Amino acid sequence: MIARWRWLLQQMTKKLWFRATLFSLLGVATALLAVVFKDYIPASLPARVGADAVDKILGIIASSMLAVTTFSLSIMVTAYGAASSGVTPRATTLVMEDSTTQNALATFIGSFLFSLVGIIALSTGAYGQQGRVLLFAVTIVVVILIVSTLLRWIDHLSKLGRVGETIDRVERATISAINHRVQWPHLGASPYPCASAIPSSAHRLQSRQTGYVQHIDVNALGAVASECEIQIFLDVLPGSFVHLGMPLAHVVSLNAQRIDDLHSSGSKILAALTIGTHRTFEHDPRFCLSVLSEIASRALSPAVNDPGTAIDVIGRGLRSLTCWGAPQDPVTKVSAQCQQVYLHGLMVDDLFDDFFAPIARDGAALLEVDLRLMKTLVSLARINPVLFKQPSTRHARLLLKRADQALTLKEDQALLSTAADHLLHEHR
């Protein structure tokens, strides 16, 4: 569970402009630092240090960092394009949030501004001889930082935007989202009861926007429920697509004397839901699995024809879904202040449909892909029979039906059927 302001802050810190702005301000402040502390430098020190060289060093930094920043930006744009065309446009967001790229660009821009402000201050005589010494020392530190960043940046360029690296990012995001949902199955709220448990007199809260639910501040909803003495039954989850007028929640008053609060609480409840134009990875495991599946489908398209990547993605899907089947605490985790808020849980069938169905459809004519899918389904059924056996069996039967239509050789069909025997026969 993450409060809305913390979630918004996390989203802001992932933007490229945030670190660039922060490093730029730091560079300007560092350059002006010598003006403030110049009186603390002994007057005899400049003659021994030889701080006059700082002019040339700052000039070199200013001219080189501008070129390096321009070059790095072009590389970054190329990497974004490669990730969008070679993997999927949905994965570009993760590439754009790469911390190494952001730190490199921010360091280059900050160093450029540091040198530029230093040159301007030197030309006005603001530093004096003592200030030159301090500026010289700081410049040496900046040069070491630039060299270190350049070395890391050069190594990172070999991976930026590559198919394998991008798939790694999507897999890490998927496992992180699944582990978070395993820890908080209902995001800290109570499990949603059956529909008949909700009174017919419940007030229905409708959406005022069209888009995807990106974040739900369950703590804020719990505070509203306690303050207004109401129960909140949310009908949406992160990743749900909502439209204008669509029911988002049902609200039930627990105090007949405060029935007016039932309607006034609507704005507070809506404020706890963040609705945007696109889905996000953090709290939406279904979207993460869909992006993985989309990568495999693109690899299986006639234009790409790369079944090896699809097989690699299937293995990553197995690792991700294994996290969902990990042993859980017997008690459902519900936050103490959110007991009057009710959310739906994710269904295992939906997770399997998001991942396996598109790959099985697009790779039905390739035996190697069919076999990998079947072995993955068998593995999941063995990892957690209680949770995965039924959806694995269902998708195994669908896979056999698709393969019967797409595979032309009877021997291939028999081989795939043999791989499914253990799962299907055991299910009987």
Mean pLDDT of 220-244: 90
pTM here? 0.84
The tokens describing 366, both together, are 């390739």
Average pLDDT over the chain, rounded to whole? 85
Whether 4 shows a pLDDT value over 80: the answer reads: no
The pLDDT score that the predictor gives to residue 42 is 58
Q: C-alpha angle with apex 295: 159 to 157, nearest 5 degrees?
A: 10
Q: What is the 3-state secondary structure (H, E, C) of 195-211?
A: HHHCCCCCEEEECCCCE
Tell whether the model's pLDDT for residue 137 goes beyond 70.
yes
Q: What is the model's pLDDT at position 330?
A: 44
Contacts of residue 387, Cβ cutoff 8 Å, sequence gap at least 6 = 324, 325, 348
Under a CB-based contact definition with an 8 Å cutoff, are residues 161 and 79 in contact? Answer: yes
Instruction: Give the whole-angstrom CA distance, residue 87 versus residue 85.
Output: 6
* Helices and strands in the chain: count of H runs, count of E runs: 17, 8
Can you tell me the distance from the alpha carbon of 212 to that of 275, in angstroms, rounded to the nearest whole number? Answer: 5
Distance CA(412)–CA(399), nearest Å, equals 13
Q: Assign 47 a pLDDT band (cuts: 50, 70, 90).
A: very low
Average pLDDT of the segment spanning 91-112: 86
pLDDT value of position 127: 66
